[in-house]
Amino acid sequence: MTTPNATHDPQLRSWVASANQAGCDFPIQNLPFGRYRPAGSGEPFRIGVAIGDQVLDLKATGLVHTDDMNVLMSKSPAERQALRAAISAGLAEGSGQAAAWAKAVVAQSAVEMTVPCRIGDYTDFYTGIHHARTVGSLFRPDAPLLPNYQWVPIGYHGRASSIGVSGQRFRRPQGQTKAADAAAPSFGPSKRLDYELELGFFVAQGNALGEPIAVAEAEAHLFGVTLLNDWSARDIQAWEYQPLGPFLSKNFATTLSPWIVTAEALAPFRAPFERPAGDPQPLPYLDAPGNRERGALDIVLETWLQTASMREAGEAPVRLTHGNAREAAYWTPAQLIAHHTVNGCNLQPGDLLGSGTLSGPKPAEAGSLLELTLSGKQPLTLPNGERRSFLEDGDTLILRGYCEREGAVRIGLGEVSGTVEPARG
């Protein structure tokens, strides 16, 4: 696991002036990776590094010789750390590379972003224990938390083909639903469309089929973290999820931030992994000293909503929730990687693991409308007087995440926005 080094120095400044502004998501201490091209150009996407309000063409610096992000992700931890150090040195104030690299930066406002890498497989986990308890109480009042939850990281295989990048617009999904008092299900657009506030973990080096990754070694296989919105059709989900879990209620759209904040950048914001008193401790294959000492992530997470009416009136989005991943997640990224591979499953560079909805213990820290409105029984009243139980057509849901801690420079994960369009007629 990376520990803070010279690239995290709070005194470090960049010759890109916008990177030095207080509250900036992308100071020189961050340096997240993404894929971009000039807006409207139709050119192949290239690897970029966010710095302030600019993006640096990584290949143009001469530090890499590929535009394939998955190739970069497959590098060893030592190679990735060396690349970070070289990028940091070149972007630092007073760098001898400043004049040459200034020709390799372009405003983020002038580029088009895509998903950060080629995602071969997507597994969504269920690590948010407060979310699990609340949702379980709605679906299974007599057994909110199933007996296996505190022992095994629960996950299901998601759909990689429908993953999009921030700014994604998608149609309201259709499917079967069944009212409690109905004799048979009906078909039509979802009436209980929801969001899920999650983190996404990208795999770096993979593992050979049949060769598990030990939890003590799993951090070396974590490339970085992104924000993730796993849109959910709750009424379709309620009818289909037993006995095999979510299907059409989840696979219609998933939206990511365009930026991957690397594991190296997050070094100052790691925290101890601790189970509440009285809870069972992880089995040995999910336990290691390093994971106990620094396995958790201290990331602030927020959700914001802008309705169509608010947008037309020029009103800014309103914040719905504010929480922290450290208090929400019952399992760490290292434990997810170790569990995913313990049976010999082979992960590959660019594979995506979702955290599951990260809700805190307080109502204002909920990561979904299902929790915020208690399944629609207590609708939210927005500042303009509109009410929401679930998402309506034209709604834009925004996720934001950032890390801040005394003695470290604040870094951000960017933003994830997605807009609901009407179901196909």
Residue 346 forms part of a structural domain:
yes
Q: Is 133 found in the same domain as 107? A: no
Sorting pLDDT into bands at 50, 70 and 90, what band is 227? very high
CATH code (residue 50) = 2.30.30.230
Q: Is pLDDT above 90 for 141?
A: no
**247 or 139: which leads in pLDDT:** 247
Query: Per-residue pLDDT tens for 348-372?
Result: 999 999 999 999 999 999 999 999 9
Q: Which domain holds residue 209?
A: 122-421
- Residue 262, beta-bridge partner list: 224
Q: Is 303 found in the same domain as 260? A: yes
Pick the catalytic residue: 131, 221, 339, 340? 131
Q: Is 314 found in the same domain as 378? A: yes
The residue out of 97, 114, 131 marking a domain boundary is: 114
Could you tell me what percentage of the chain is helix, strand and coil, using 3-state DSSP and rounding each to the nearest 5? 25, 30, 50
Residue 228 forms part of a structural domain:
yes
Residue 271 forms part of a structural domain:
yes
Residue 183 forms part of a structural domain:
yes
For residue 135, the model assigns a pLDDT of 87
Sorting pLDDT into bands at 50, 70 and 90, what band is 139? confident
Q: Is 129 found in the same domain as 41? A: no
* Cβ-Cβ contacts under 8 Å for 406 (sequence gap 6 or more): none
Please state the rounded mean pLDDT for residues 18-40: 97
Q: Is 338 found in the same domain as 278? A: yes
Q: Is 142 found in the same domain as 102? A: no
Query: In this prediction, what percent of the chain has a pLDDT beyond 90?
Result: 94
User: Is 322 tagged catalytic?
Assistant: no
Q: Is 142 found in the same domain as 65? A: no
Query: Per-residue pLDDT tens for 142-169?
Result: 888 889 999 999 999 999 999 999 999 9
Q: Is 305 found in the same domain as 188? A: yes
Q: Is 349 found in the same domain as 226? A: yes
CATH code (residue 328) = 3.90.850.10
Q: What are phi and psi of 139, to 5 degrees?
A: -90, -35
Q: Is 403 found in the same domain as 272? A: yes
The residue out of 79, 114, 149 marking a domain boundary is: 114
The residue out of 114, 133, 164 marking a domain boundary is: 114
Check: CB of residue 139 under 8 Å from CB of residue 392: no
What is the secondary structure of 224-292 as a DSSP string?
A: EEEEEE--EEHHHHHHH-TTT--STTTTT-EEE-S-BEETTTTGGGEE---PPTTSPPPPGGG--HHHH
CA–CA separation, 227 and 256 (whole Å) = 6
Residue 128 forms part of a structural domain:
yes
Sorting pLDDT into bands at 50, 70 and 90, what band is 308? very high
Please state the rounded mean pLDDT for residues 46-51: 98
Q: Is 87 found in the same domain as 130? A: no
Sorting pLDDT into bands at 50, 70 and 90, what band is 140? confident
Mean pLDDT, all residues of the chain: 96
Sorting pLDDT into bands at 50, 70 and 90, what band is 78? very high
* Cβ-Cβ contacts under 8 Å for 79 (sequence gap 6 or more): none
For residue 142, the model assigns a pLDDT of 83
Q: Is 263 found in the same domain as 357? A: yes
Sorting pLDDT into bands at 50, 70 and 90, what band is 213? very high
* Number of domains observed in the structure of the chain: 2
Distances (CA, A) of 347 to 191, 221, 229, 342: 36, 9, 22, 11
Check: CB of residue 342 under 8 Å from CB of residue 336: no
Against a cut of 0.85, is the pTM above it? Answer: yes
Distances (CA, A) of 105 to 7, 15, 210, 327: 20, 12, 43, 37
Which among 338, 159, 369 is positioned nearest to 245, based on CA atoms? 159
Query: In this prediction, what percent of the chain has a pLDDT beyond 70?
Result: 100
Residue 1 forms part of a structural domain:
no
